[in-house]
Amino acid sequence: MAIRKRKSDLPEYGVKIRLYPTLVQQAKLRQFFGNDRFLWNQLVSLYQERYKNNKKSKLLTEFDLNNLLPALKNEYPFLKASDSSSFQIVTKNISDAWEAFFAGTRRKPRFHSKHSAKQSYTGKSSGIRIMGKRNMFLPKLRRVRSSKTGVIDGKIKRYTISVDACGRYWLSLIVEKKTAFLPKTGKAAGIDVGLTHLAILSDGRKFDKFSSDYCEKQAEIWQSKSSKRRHLALVKSQQDANRKALGAKSLSDYRNWQKANVAKNRYMSRITNQRDDYLHKISDQLVKEYDVIVIEDLKIKNMTKNHHRARSILRQSWGRFRDMLEYKCKKYGKILIKVNPAYTSRICSKCGKDTGKKPLSVREWDCPFCKAHHDRDINASINILLKGLAQL
Ligand SMILES: [Zn+2]
C-alpha cells in the first residue's frame, strides 16, 4: 500500500493576483487552456462510451485515469507542453463528477467548449515560486510579470491561471500559512486613538503620534511652489495659444512645475515610509505583548473632515495602524475586537456612570459620582477594553 502524505493541519487561504504574460506566454497559455479542455473532453467521451456499452461496467477511478495519461501524451504529443500536474487535477475532477452523477447528486459531465467565457487551468506543481516583488516563476512558462507578490505568505499548494472576458490574466493561489503564532501572555489591552497621541493604552501607556516635521514642512513648501508654477504655466500656455505662437508648449512641458511636483512627491513618500516604520514597531510590540486587543470601530466613529495636512496624516496613521494590528493579530494568533466608540469618553470607567459630554479641551476630570480622577484618554481606553471583554 502506498504511503500517503499526511494532510497538514496548517490553515490555508486563497489569494489572487494579476498576471501580465508576454505575447509568447499568452500563446502558450491558450495552448495549456486548450490541452486541459482537450483532456477533459477525451475523458468525458471515454466514460460515455463505456457507459453506453455496458451500464454496469466498473467506474474508472482517478487512479485508472492517471495511468492512461502517458499513453495519451504519446498519442497527442502537444499535451507534453502543459504542466502535467494540471492533468491530475482534470482526472480528479472528472472522476469526482462521474461518481457524483452515479450517486445521483449531479448531472452528467458535459463537454467543455472552447467558447466558454472562462478559460483556465489548475496545477499543483511544486515548480511555482515567487521571483521578486512583481514576478512569478510558473511551471512551463518561466518568469511571468505580475502584480505585487507580497500578499503571498506561505507555501503555494495549488494555482489556477485564468483569463477573463476582458483579456486580463489572473493567478489564483491556495496558500498554506506558515505557523507564526506568538506565545500567549494572558494580557488584554484597550486602545484609544487621539489627537495628541497615536495610541493610549488602558494600562496608562501612551505612544506619541508620528510626526516628521522636516519632511512635512518641505512637502508643504514644494506643494505651494508647484501650484504657483502650475498657475504660471497655465497663463503662459494660454498666451501662447492666443498668439498662435510657433512651438507652443503644452502644460506638461513646463519643467519647473514638474520639478516642484517631483520634489513634493519625494517628501510625501519619505513621510509614508518613516510613518510605516514607526507604526510597524509599535504594532509589533503590542501584538507580542497582548493576547486580546480592543480598538474602536472607526467606521462608526464620526471623524471630522479636515483638510489640514497634519490632521490628515494623523488620520491616515490611524488607518494604517488599525490595518497592521488587524493582520498581525490574525497572523500571530491573537484576538482583535472592534467596539462601538459611543460613550467611551463619557462613562466613568470606575463606577460605570455617564458623566456627560466634555469638550476636547478637558484632558482630566473628576467623576461627580465616585470622585475618581481620570485622564480623559486613559479612561476612554479602559472603557474600550471593558466593552471588548464584554463581547468576548
Ligand atoms: Zn465614577
Higher-pLDDT residue of 74 and 10 is 74
Name 287's Cβ contacts closer than 8 Å, sequence gap at least 6. 182, 293, 325, 328, 329, 332, 334
Q: Tell me what the pLDDT averaged over the chain comes to.
A: 87
Instruction: Check if the beta carbon of residue 388 is closer than 8 Å to that of residue 375.
Output: no
What percentage of the chain carries pLDDT values higher than 70? 92
Is residue 296 part of the annotated active site? The answer reads yes
Q: Using pLDDT thresholds of 50, 70 and 90, give the confidence band for residue 311.
A: low
Neighbours of ion ligand 1 (CB under 5 A): 348, 350-351, 367, 369-370, 372
Question: In angstroms, what is the span from residue 201 Cα to ligand 1's centroid?
Answer: 19
Question: In angstroms, what is the span from residue 358 Cα to ligand 1's centroid?
Answer: 15
Nearest Cα neighbor of 177 from 158, 149, 155 is: 155
Q: What domains can be seen in the chain, in order of their start residue?
A: 12-176 (no CATH), 188-391 (3.30.420)
**In whole angstroms, how far apart are CA 220 and each of 214, 268, 315?**
10, 9, 18
Question: In angstroms, what is the span from residue 190 Cα to ligand 1's centroid?
Answer: 19
The pLDDT tens digits of the residues spanning 328-341 come to 898 888 999 999 98
Q: Where are the alpha helices (DSSP H) in the chain?
A: 23-53, 62-75, 85-102, 213-243, 255-289, 309-332, 376-391
Cα separation, 363 vs 371, in Å, equals: 16
Question: In angstroms, what is the span from residue 348 Cα to ligand 1's centroid?
Answer: 5
Residue of 36, 83, 192, 291 marked active site: 192
Bridge partners of 142, per DSSP, are 138
Question: In angstroms, what is the span from residue 370 Cα to ligand 1's centroid?
Answer: 4
The number of residues making up the chain comes to 392
Is residue 377 part of the annotated active site? The answer reads yes
Q: Using pLDDT thresholds of 50, 70 and 90, give the confidence band for residue 53.
A: confident
Question: In angstroms, what is the span from residue 374 Cα to ligand 1's centroid?
Answer: 9
Residue of 296, 297, 354, 366 marked active site: 296
The arrangement of strands across the sheet holding 335-339 comes to 206-208, 197-201, 188-192, 292-296, 335-339
Is residue 64 part of the annotated active site? The answer reads no
Written as nine digits, the cell of 345 is: 469618553
Cα separation, 90 vs 32, in Å, equals: 12
Q: Per-residue pLDDT averaged across 6-19, rounded?
A: 72
pLDDT at 309: 56
